[in-house]
Amino acid sequence: MLKIYKLFIFLLIILTGSYLRLVNLETNPSGLYVDEASTGVNAWSILQTGKDEYGKVFPSAFRFFGSYTPPLYTYTTSLVMYFNGLSIASIRLVSALSGILMIVIFFHLLKSLNIFSVKTIFLSLFLFVITPWAIFYSRIGYEINLAFLFYSTGILFLWLSLKKSIYLILAFIFLALSSNTYHSEKLLVPITIILFLIIFRKVLFKKENIKILILSFFLYLIILIPQILIFFTPANTVRGVGLFYSSAIVNQANQSFLPFIFSIPLSFMSEFFSQYLSYFSPRNLFFQGDSDLQRGFPELSVFYWWMVIFYFVGLFKLFNKINNTSSKFILLIFFLTPIPAALTGDPFSTQRALPLLLPVMLIISLGIETILKWKFKTSLLIILILSALSLLYLYRSMAVLLPNERARVWGYGFRQLAAEMKKRPVEKFLIDTSRIKPAYIELAFYLKIPPEKLQFTVDPELKNRYYQDTKWNDHYVLDPFETRTINWEEDIYKDQILVGDELAVSEGQAREHFLINIFEIKSPSGEIIFKGYKTDPAKKCSTDYVKSKC
């Protein structure tokens, strides 16, 4: 009876989690973010032709806009598209399914740690299911959540390997897979493995485990071959170097009175530790969230504010029992997971630090366990009331504010722009890219431009220096549009439609060059996203005749 009861609660939690991760996946977040669009277009291209948008056959890292993203998410999305076709839901589905599977992994981790009661396990699992950080990244169509699932699965098996060393093989396999999915894990996984082996060396380096260790390491290297092959190419280094705060360090060092040999390491330490500490700061974890509007729910942080109490209690408990194996293990992942993110200049990047969700949630669970032990009924009642209130605020943020207020940052408007293009099949469109993120990929998605056509527009030599040539050019000429900045000396003399945001064409420019506003695309909250102006070369030439252009 008790077993059925537990199973029922578990299924109920899974159902709640699945609902929160899958509901309105196609339409919320409204629009399609450029990273999602490039994943979708490339996954579709791989499915149709076996090549990416640049014509490269099954790449080890996708070039996208020069980011060289590890490939696993795009390949798995191709599989989804085989069944479901090219759609926004198809792009986001792998993330959503990863989020659902993550609930199961978290449940097993809670159970296997052997420090939580059954009540705490279910309560913590429920809180994990409704945590904004876990929900948000389950609803976006790029690699972060899949990498998190693989990393967490690897972590679960690492923990299990302390009791049964055979699990090391599975741990190394999943950790290697996560390195093939997202940049952060490429750095995080090796340091996790090294420190895990050092801290738990007495258990792991027994004679009977050596064979398993060697086999695990061998499998790890085999799975990493795609990454190893491009390890010394610019494709591997460009992303890390680009995001590192080297200029901030040099600036700080220049202001110091110490010689460079001392000031550079000191400046690095100051910058690194400020970034690193910010990932543990309650202000960021429980109140403010990510500074990038695209990377979070409006008015919600990554955890609910009241969880801060359990965070502190859990931390306190953890440090008090620092000699326990489970405490050491949780602290290890707690201190390691923000390192890759702390090496980049973005303040509190929830995307790069997603693996931190796992140890913080375990610490919160430990806090819950402690408080439930102290006063069970009162604490449970308070937690349930706060959870209900949080769900109300989650609804406000996820269903009301996100699709309305964040539409612009999520690429809203390209669907409508594509519809305008379809309405005018003979017209040529020039998309001004001064402030608009890569427009060609969004339009390629919505207009369903055949992959071969997209591959044809780029320099055919590019696929030969795919991992060397990291510079990306936003000039695309595709039927029926071209993407680049407007050239005011040339483009007004051509018969076309100029498209840009509200700042692209001023009223004065429209009057001066006889541009006719033919459409406006607005976000759900009423902001203008695109304006389309039809040029009138005949009229322009009649008043301002330039021989070479008229």
Report the residue number, 245 or 466, with the smaller CB distance to another protein. Answer: 245
Query: How far does the chain reach from its first CA to its final CA, in angstroms?
Result: 86
Report the residue number, 502 or 536, with the smaller CB distance to another protein. Answer: 502
Residue with tokens 């460009």: 238
- Contacting another protein (CB under 8 A), which of 262, 395, 456, 472? 395
Helices (H), 244-350: 246-255, 260-278, 282-283, 307-320, 325-336, 339-342
- In the DSSP assignment, the letter for residue 285 is I
- 494 lies in the site for another protein, by CB under 8 A: no
Report the residue number, 94 or 371, with the smaller CB distance to another protein. Answer: 371
> Could you tell me which stretch among 36-44, 139-147, 191-199, 524-532 binds another protein (CB under 8 A)?
524-532
Q: Output Rg (C-alpha) for the chain, integer angstroms.
A: 26
The Cβ of residue 162 has, within 10 Å, a number of other Cβ atoms equal to 17
- 450 lies in the site for another protein, by CB under 8 A: no
- 270 lies in the site for another protein, by CB under 8 A: yes
Tokens of 368: 């819950």
- Contacting another protein (CB under 8 A), which of 66, 347, 480, 537? 347
Instruction: Give the amino acid at 147.
Output: A
- Contacting another protein (CB under 8 A), which of 194, 277, 503, 546? 277
Tokens of 88: 């926004």
The full 3-state SS of 375-430, as one line of letters, equals CHHHHHHHHHHHHHHHHHHHHHHHHHHHHHHCCCCCCCCHHHHHHHHHHCCCCCEE
CA distance 368 to 376: 10
Binding to another protein (CB under 8 A) within 306-345 occurs at: 308, 315-316, 319-320, 345
Residue with tokens 């021989």: 547
Report the residue number, 318 or 449, with the smaller CB distance to another protein. Answer: 318
- 472 lies in the site for another protein, by CB under 8 A: no
Contacts of 168 (CB under 8 A, 6+ apart): 157, 158, 161, 204, 209, 212, 213, 216
CB of 28 to another protein, least distance (A): 11
CB of 270 to another protein, least distance (A): 6
> Could you tell me which stretch among 128-136, 170-178, 274-282, 433-441 binds another protein (CB under 8 A)?
274-282
Size of the residue set binding another protein (CB under 8 A):
38
- 210 lies in the site for another protein, by CB under 8 A: no
- 287 lies in the site for another protein, by CB under 8 A: yes
In the complex, the residues that contact another protein under the rule CB under 8 A are 269-270, 273-275, 277-278, 280-284, 286-288, 291, 299, 305, 308, 315-316, 319-320, 345, 347-348, 392-393, 395-396, 399-401, 404-405, 524-526
